[in-house]
Chain A
Amino acid sequence: MNLKNCHNFSDFRILAKKKLPSPIFHYIDGAADDEITYNRNTSAFNDVDLVPNVLRGVENVDLSTKIFGKKIDLPFYCSPTALQRLFHYDGERAVGKAAKKFNTMFGVSALATVSVEEISSLIDTPKMFQFYFHKDRGLNDSCLERAKAANFDVMALTVDTITGGNRERDLRTGFTSPPKLTLSSLFSFATKPMWGINYLTKGKFELPHLQDFVKEGTSTNSSIGNYFSTMLDQSMNWSDAEKLCSKWGGHFALKGIMSVEDAKKAVDIGCTGIMVSNHGGRQLDGSRSPFDQLAEIVDAVGDKIDVICEGGFQRGTHMLKALSIGAKACAGGRLYLYALAAAGQAGVERALGQYKAELERDMKLMGCTKISDLNRNNLRFRYT
C-alpha cells in the first residue's frame, strides 16, 4: 500500500499504522477510557440525513469562508496538534506548507516541535497558536509574546485539558515524549527502521516553545497525560482566561467549549470564537459529541462569535452537515495526522485535496454553490 492507494480517511490510517512504531500510532489513534466519545464524534453525523435540491445550475462552487476576520479558501482547517515531528520528520513544516497551499488556517500547538518563528518564516497564510495555561507564568508570557511577534492571527486557549485524560492505549504501549525505548516497545521500534532512522538523523527532537522553561517532554520523558496533570495550572478560571484574552489583544478563542452557558461566557469575556470540541474524545469519555451539541451552541451565540465544530470529521459530507447547522468552519486533528504520518507534506496535501474534492462534489449534489447556501432545511434528523 502506498499514497496513491489512499482514497479516504481510513486508507490514510492504515498506511500510517504501517509506517509508525506502534506506541506512536496508538497515541494518535487512541482516546480516553472506552473511546465511546471518540467513536460517537463520527457516528453522530449518521443520525442526520442530507436532503438535496436539484436543477440549480451548479458548475462553480465557492468553498471559502471567513473566520477570525480572515478569508480562507476551505471551510475546514488543521487543528493544532502536539508533537508532529514524531509522526513525520518534517512535522509542522509539512502540515503548515500543505495548509498554505490550500489557503486554510494552520493551528500550531504549544507542544509543537517546530517554532512559531520558523512557521512564520515558511507560511504567510492564516495561523493560529494554541496555548496551554501553565503554572509557570513566565512560560505563558513568553508563548504569547513569541506568537504575537511571529504574526499569528489567532490565539486559542485550550480549556478541556485541565488534567490528563485516561488514555489507556498509551498506558499499555508506554508512549512518552520524547519516545522512550522499553522492552515492550522495542520490537515495534525495531520493525519500523525507517521511522527510527529519520527520527535520529533529521534534526533533534525539540519542543521549542517550552524547553527553555520545562524539561518534561524534551530531556525528561513524560506521557502527555502526565504533562497535563503536572505542568498545567488546574486553578485556571474565567478571570484568567479574560486576562489572557485582553493581553493578546486580537482574535481569541476558547478551544474545548461544550456547554451553552460556557459559550455565552466566552462571548462575555471578549472571545471572537470558540471551538466546540471534546479534544477528539481524548479527555472526558462519555462527553457529548461536538456535532450533537452544535445546534444548541449556534442558536445561543452563533450570531456573536465564530463557532467552529471540531472533531469526528472523516468526510466532506460530515463537514456539510456541520456547516448546515451553522458552524463557521470545521476542524480536525486526525483529519490530517494519519496523512502526515503516511507521507509528510505530500500526504497532507493529498488528504486536504480529497476533502476539498469531496466538498465540491457534495455541494453540487446538494444543489449549493456557496457555504452560505447551506442551512438546516438541508437536514433531517432521524430521531427527534
Chain B
Amino acid sequence: MSLKDCYNFEDFRKLAKKKLPSPIFHYIDGGSDDETTLKRNTESFNDCDLIPNVLANVGKPDLSTNIFGRKIDMPIFLSPCAMQRLYHHDGDKASAKAANRFGTFYSMSTMANNTIEEISNLSSGPKLFQLYVHKDQSITNDLIDRCRRSGFDGMCLTVDTLVAGNRERDHRTGFTTPPKLTLKSLLSFAAHPTWVFNYLIHEKFKLANVATKTDKGTNIAKSVIDYINEQYDPAMNWKDAEHCVKKWNGPFALKGVMSVEDAKRAIDIGCSAIMISNHGGRQLDGSRSPFDQIKAISDAVGDKLEIILDGGVRRGSHVLKAIAAGAKACSFGKMFLFSLAAGGQQGVEHLLKTIHDEINRNMVLMGCKNLKELNSSKLIYRNNR
C-alpha cells in the first residue's frame, strides 16, 4: 500500500498504522473512555441528508470562504495538532507547506515541535496559532507577542482541556512525549525501523515554542496527559480569555465551545469566531458531537461569529452538511495527521487534493455555485428536531 492507493480516511489511517510505532498510532487514533463521542462525531453526519437541486448550471463552483480575516480557497483547514514531528520527521513544516499550496489555513499548536518563527519563514499562507493558557502567564504572553511579530493571521484559545481526558489506549501503550522505550513498546518501535531512523537522524524532538520556558515534554519523558495537567491552568476563566483576546487584538476564536450560552459569551469578550469542538472525542466522552450541536449555535449567533466545525469530518459531503447547517468552514485533525504520517508533505497534499475534489464534485451534484447557496434548506434531518 502506498499514498496513491489512499482514497479516503480509512486508507490514510491504514497506511499511517503501517508506518507508525503502535503507541504513536494509537495516540492519534484514540479517544477518551469508551470513545463513544469519537464515533458519534462522524456518525452524526449520517442523521441528516442532502437535498440537491438539479439543472442549476453551476459551472465551476466557487469554494472560497473568509475566516480570520483571510480568504481561503476551500472551506476546510488543518486543525492545530501537537507534536507533529512524532508522526513524520518534517512535522509542522510539511503541514504548513501543504496547506499553503492549497490556499488554506495551517494551524500551529502551542505544543508544536517547530517554532513560530521557523514556520512563518517558510509559509506566507494563512496561519492560525492555537494557544493554551499556562499557569505561568509570561509563557502565554510571550507566545502572543511572537505570533504577532511573525505575521500569524488568527489566534485560537483552547478551552476544553482544563484537565486531560482519560485516554485509555495511551495507558495501555505507555505513550509519552518524547517517546520512551519500554519493554512493551520496544517490539513496536523495532518493527518500524524507518520511523525510528528518521526520528533519530533529523532534528531533536522538542516542544519548540515553550522549550526555553519549561523543560516539560522536552527533556524528560512525560506523557502529554501529565503535561496538560501540570502546565495548563485549571482556574482559567472568562477574564483570562478576555485578556488574551485584548492582547492579541485581531481575529480570535475560542476552540472547544459547545453550549449556546458560551457561544454568546464569546461574542461579549470580543471573539470573532468559535470552533465548535469536543477535541476530537479525546476529552469528555459522552459529550455532544459538533455536528449535532451546530444548528442550535448557528441559530443563536451565526450572524455575529464565524462558526468553525471541528471534529468528525472525513468526507466532502460532511463539509457540505456542516456549511449548510451554519459553519463558515470546517477543520480536521486526525484525518490530516494520518496523511502526514502516511507521506509527509506529499501525504497532506494528497489529502487536501482529495478532499478539495470531493467538495467540488459534491457542490456540482448539489447544484450550488458557491457556499452561500448551501443553506439549511438543503438539509433534512431524519429525526425531527
Binding site for B on A (CB under 8 A): 5, 7-8, 45-46, 48-59, 314-315, 317-318, 320-321, 357-358, 360-362, 364-366, 380, 382-384
Contact = CB atoms under 8 A, between A and B. Distances in A.
Given A52-B259, A55-B240, A55-B241, A317 B234 contact: no
A262 B287 CA distance: 33
Give the dominant DSSP class at B's interface: loop
Interface of B: 33-34, 36-37, 40, 159-160, 162-166, 168, 171-172, 234-238, 240-241, 254, 256-259, 261-262, 265, 278, 283-289, 292-293, 383, 385
11 contacts: A8-B34, A45-B286, A50-B284, A55-B254, A57-B237, A314-B34, A315-B34, A317-B284, A361-B164, A365-B283, A366-B284
A310 to B, nearest CB: 19
Contacts of A366: 284
A50 B288 contact: yes
A382 B383 contact: yes
A320 to B, nearest CB: 7
B118 to A, nearest CB: 31
B287 A52 contact: yes
B33 A358 contact: yes
A168 B256 CA distance: 47
B238 A365 contact: no
B159 A54 contact: yes
Contacts of B289: 49
B33 A365 contact: no
A5 B173 CA distance: 11
Given A58-B234, A317-B285, A380 B293 contact: yes
Given A50-B284, A54-B259, A382-B292, 5 more contacts: A51-B288, A58-B235, A357-B166, A361-B165, A361-B166
Contacts of A55: 159, 236-238, 240-241, 254, 262, 265
A54 B286 contact: no
Contact of B163 (A7, A317, A365): A365
Nearest to A317: B286
A226 B288 CA distance: 44
Given A317-B33, A365-B163, A382-B383, A52 B284 contact: yes
A353 B246 CA distance: 41
B286 A49 contact: yes
A49 B44 CA distance: 12
B383 A321 contact: no
Given A55-B237, A365-B165, A46 B284 contact: no
Nearest to A4: B171
Nearest to A52: B258
A58 B238 CA distance: 12
Given A8-B168, A384-B385, A365 B284 contact: yes
A246 B249 CA distance: 68
A318 B284 CA distance: 11
Q: Which 4 A-B pairs have the closest CB atoms?
A: A49-B288, A317-B286, A54-B159, A365-B284
Nearest to B265: A55
B286 A358 contact: no
A45 B286 CA distance: 8
Contacts of A320: 286
Contacts of B162: 58, 364-365
A54 B254 contact: yes
B275 to A, nearest CB: 12
Contacts of A360: 163
B286 A318 contact: yes
B316 to A, nearest CB: 25
A57 B287 CA distance: 19
Contacts of A5: 172
Contacts of B292: 49, 380, 382
A59 B235 contact: yes
B261 A358 contact: no
Contacts of B238: 55
Nearest to A364: B163
Q: Which of B36, B257, B278, B288 has the most chain A CB within a 10 Å cutoff?
A: B288
B285 A315 contact: yes
B215 to A, nearest CB: 24
Nearest to B40: A49
A131 to B, nearest CB: 35
Nearest to B257: A54
Given A317-B284, A320-B286, A51 B236 contact: no
Nearest to B240: A55
Contact of A7 (B168, B234, B261, B283): B168
Contact of B284 (A57, A357, A362): A362
Nearest to B158: A54
Given A7-B171, A364-B162, A365-B162, A56 B285 contact: no
Task: Give the most central of A46, A317, A321: most B CB within 10 Å.
Answer: A317
Contacts of B265: 55
A195 B16 CA distance: 45
Contacts of B257: 54
A8 to B, nearest CB: 6
A57 B235 contact: yes
B229 to A, nearest CB: 10
A39 B384 CA distance: 26
A11 B164 CA distance: 21
Contacts of B235: 57-59
A5 to B, nearest CB: 8
Nearest to A9: B34
B65 to A, nearest CB: 25
